[in-house]
Amino acid sequence: MLYVVVNGSWGPRAEFVPGIAERLSGTLCALAEIDGSTFHQWHEAGNGRPSDPVVEPSVPALTEYIDRKNTGPDLDVMGYTTSLWARNPGAAYVSIAIHAGSTSRYAVNSVSLVFRSREIDETAEVIRRAPQILRLLAQDWEIDVGQVYNEHQYRAVAERWDLANSAPRCGRAVFLSAGRAALAPEGLPAMHVPTAHGGLVIDLTLGGTASPAIETILEANARLRTAGALEQLPTPFDRATF
């Protein structure tokens, strides 16, 4: 069964609903350009059925949705959470979840895109383009670190290094912020794709043409960890570290 995740995280950064909606609108529109049949007709988070309301990927519509779903005190400290899903004929079920605007040095900000399907497998074009999607998320959300993985790859890396869920890791691809990228070792069997703000995507799929073995992924993690490129942000979070 298909289960592939593209995600990223970053430390404290003040943002408010209109800015988050603008970032999210840009992401959804860019995803549609990558694969319009998959990234189309986004629904509000609900019971995962077609009856869930559809949200237009415009800044005004997303601003209203995020405002409506986030109530209570201290949102400028704890941040804003929102999620959407889409399931179109012949495409994987896809969901996107955002937590942004947290200025707390103990609450991480994050973006996550998840593909699930019993019919579509990892040979699908949209899945092979997951490292490209990681680059898109990295640039749109100015993340600190991000990765692409399936469940088997995630578990293999987590078990080898006894990692917490939030710990940076390299799956079939990894994004490193400028400070992390400066520590990345040479000679990894990967494409190196630069991003805005000096970041770097290290793509072990070689542009979607290869399926890296678990041993290859584990070796890449070992080398990146030895170099210090996958160190976790210290708590309380200090983004200046990377």
Provide, rounded to the nearest whole percent, the portion of the chain with pLDDT above 70: 98
Asked if residue 61 has pLDDT above 90, the reply is yes
Confidence of residue 242 (pLDDT cuts 50, 70, 90): low
* Mean pLDDT value of segment 80-89: 97
Length of the chain: 242
CB 146 within 8 A of CB 137: yes
CB 38 within 8 A of CB 126: yes
Half-sphere exposure of 58 (CA within 13 A, CB side): 5
Q: Six-digit token pair at 87?
A: 């399931």
pLDDT tens for each residue of 5-30 = 999 999 999 999 999 999 999 999 99
CB 241 within 8 A of CB 19: no
Which residue, 109, 113, 124, is CA-closest to 30?
113
Q: What sections of the chain are H helices per DSSP?
A: 17-34, 59-69, 75-78, 125-128, 130-141, 151-161, 178-181, 214-227
pLDDT tens for each residue of 146-161 = 999 999 999 999 999 9
CA distance 115 to 95: 7
CB 44 within 8 A of CB 52: yes
Provide, rounded to the nearest whole percent, the portion of the chain with pLDDT above 90: 90
Which residue, 4, 87, 12, is CA-closest to 48?
87
pLDDT for residue 232:
86
Q: Is 86 helix (H, G, I), strand (E, B) or coil?
A: strand
CB 220 within 8 A of CB 171: no
Listed by start position, the domains of the chain span: 2-241
